[in-house]
Structure 1
Amino acid sequence: MHLNAPAFSSFQHDRLKLAFFDEGDPAGDPILLIHGFASSALVNWVHPGWLKTLGDAGYRVIAIDNRGHGRSDKPHEPSRYHVPLMAADAIALLDHLGIRQAHVMGYSMGARITAFAALAFPHRIRTVILGGLGIGMVTGVGDWDPIADALLAPSLDDVTHERGRMFRAFADQTKSDRLALAACIRTSRDLLSAEQMAKIDMPVLIGVGTRDDIAGSPQELAMLMPHAEALDIPNRDHMLAVGDRVFKKAALEFLHKHS
């Protein structure tokens, strides 16, 4: 158990029990955090210090365990993991907590979920922070079928695909339900068009590590949106950019500017 692990609660949505934490200043501006694939609220936001960073800055910090992840229910049907469904889960959490509008921050798959939520529920979202996903949101992020295969392999020793090995090792380390993750990766890659991105008109910050070989350019994505800015996170890859202090500093400045 992590030393400073927050208390988790749960709520029901779409026939699933979904876990979340609600920490920080109850009177502060709410920010909803949406984690990446094979991660969890704890692994993505608590361990890398985001809960502390945002909590110390006076925010009410809420994070969901996406379906298939963390302490939430883990269906094994790929049809349950299309991104609009997970975006609806996130907004349902705001409903559950009685929050009319929040800042929303997502990393990697969580950034994709955040963008879908911003399109479908624009009145609920004040600002958007996207981490670990740039123009790949529109153009795709390569072939992920080998990752599903890696998750279903008997053991890590059986996996030769490099990115597959990385995610399989991460899934083993986080003791994830690999069948749920394999189902998730098959259908959670829904793309948004350039025209759809252009409709996201709240302030947006996009942070991507300069060594990230998954995300694609944050500048190219920012250019598609009316009020977006891009941030290069120096010398960080996809796994390490999330907790970077350059990213945290930029996020705090961005939120402060739009609070």
Structure 2
Amino acid sequence: MNLNMPTFSNFSHDGLKLAYFDEGDPAGPPVLLIHGFASSASVNWVHPGWLKTLGDAGYRVIAIDNRGHGASDKPRDAEAYRPWHMAGDAIALLDHLGIPEANVMGYSMGARISVFAALARPDRVRSLVLGGLGIGMTDGVGDWDPIADALLAPSIDTVTHARGRMFRAFAEQTKSDREALAACIHGSRDLVLRSDMGKIEAPTLIGVGTNDDIAGSPQELAALMPHAIALDIPGRDHMLAVGDKVFKKAALEFYADVAGW
């Protein structure tokens, strides 16, 4: 077992080949990790230390490369990236592994996918950890069209939009398929109704960096849910909150209460 460099496998769902890893204690409570936009299972969960943190704590740690990302297939049709399709991929991975119920943790876009999974299949989601997305889940996270434009620009040198330039640089750093990511932006922005957030019975932890200008308030989102708590991750922006020790400590404490059998 290597908690620093996991072995990836593949499964098929919805006509796509999707990559994942399954590490940690096979007998431990399962945690399914769903990464954010333009990221991957490795970038979001291995490099920032989540695989090691959760594996060392005795959990079975599973992470998917979302469609359009990492080593998974990369359709270029925006409709393929609706959140319920990607939530279906996550549930299909649990089916593939024979796991009836898992603790689900998602960051940013992965948090949105996690909520769609919890709404569609509440019987499969024991708990939720939502990182990098607060009330933006229901109210939106601003205009992402300039980011799609930046991803499709002939060169990063022509991109003047600050956030677009940040994501273009990130996509180049991760050697991503920029056309697939632009399609993902156009397809994955469906919002969750405030009333639907209130239907989620699973215990939930919502962590957002205090310098995050994308996510929106975690307290406002938690207030819509019957069993949710909010966490401020001090001094962290959207990119840096994911690996923060405050976030990890809070998640382990949360899991100590809700994740076991």
Q: Same fold (TM over 0.5)?
A: yes
Corresponding position of 1:125 = 125
Question: How far is 1:33 from its partner?
Answer: 0.0
Q: Does 1:18 align with 2:21?
A: no
Write the deviation string for residues 52-99 of structure 1: whole angstroms up to 9, x where unpaired. 000000000000000000000001111100000000000000000000
Instruction: Provide the secondary structure at the position in 2 that maps to 1:206.
Output: strand
**Matches for 1:63-212 after TM superposition, within 5 Å:** 63-212=63-212
Q: Which amino acid in structure 1 is aligned with residue 165 of structure 2?
A: R
Equivalent pair of 2:4/2:52 in contact (CA under 8 Å): no
Write the deviation string for residues 209-240 of structure 1: whole angstroms up to 9, x where unpaired. 00000000000000000000000000000000
Instruction: Provide the secondary structure at the position in 2 that maps to 1:200.
Output: coil
Q: Which amino acid in structure 1 is aligned with residue 139 of structure 2?
A: T
Distance 1:234 1:121 in 2: 33
Distance 1:247 1:24 in 2: 20
Instruction: Provide the secondary structure at the position in 2 that maps to 1:32.
Output: strand
Distance 2:96 2:202 in 1: 23
Corresponding position of 2:47 = 47
Distance 2:100 2:201 in 1: 18
Corresponding position of 2:7 = 7
Distance 1:212 1:146 in 2: 19
Identical residues among aligned pairs (%): 77
Distance 1:102 1:77 in 2: 30
Write the deviation string for residues 233-256 of structure 1: whole angstroms up to 9, x where unpaired. 000000000000000000000000
Instruction: Provide the secondary structure at the position in 2 that maps to 1:235.
Output: coil
Distance 1:234 1:4 in 2: 26
Distance 1:187 1:195 in 2: 22
Distance 2:127 2:79 in 1: 29
Instruction: Provide the secondary structure at the position in 2 that maps to 1:76.
Output: coil
Q: Does 1:253 align with 2:253?
A: yes
Instruction: Provide the secondary structure at the position in 2 that maps to 1:176.
Output: coil
Corresponding position of 1:61 = 61
Gaps of 5+ in 1: none
Equivalent pair of 2:4/2:51 in contact (CA under 8 Å): no
Instruction: Provide the secondary structure at the position in 2 that maps to 1:9.
Output: strand
Gaps of 5+ in 2: none
Q: Which amino acid in structure 2 is aligned with residue 248 of structure 1?
A: K
Corresponding position of 1:32 = 32
Write the deviation string for residues 195-215 of structure 1: whole angstroms up to 9, x where unpaired. 000001110000000000000
Instruction: Provide the secondary structure at the position in 2 that maps to 1:130.
Output: strand
Q: Which amino acid in structure 2 is aligned with residue 42 of structure 1?
A: S
Corresponding position of 1:244 = 244
Q: Which amino acid in structure 2 is aligned with residue 56 of structure 1?
A: D
Q: Which amino acid in structure 1 is aligned with residue 125 of structure 2?
A: I
Question: How far is 1:45 from its partner?
Answer: 0.1
Instruction: Provide the secondary structure at the position in 2 that maps to 1:36.
Output: coil
Instruction: Provide the secondary structure at the position in 1 that maps to 2:74.
Output: coil
Instruction: Provide the secondary structure at the position in 2 that maps to 1:127.
Output: strand
Question: How far is 1:187 from its partner?
Answer: 1.1
Q: TM-score, normalised by structure 2?
A: 0.98
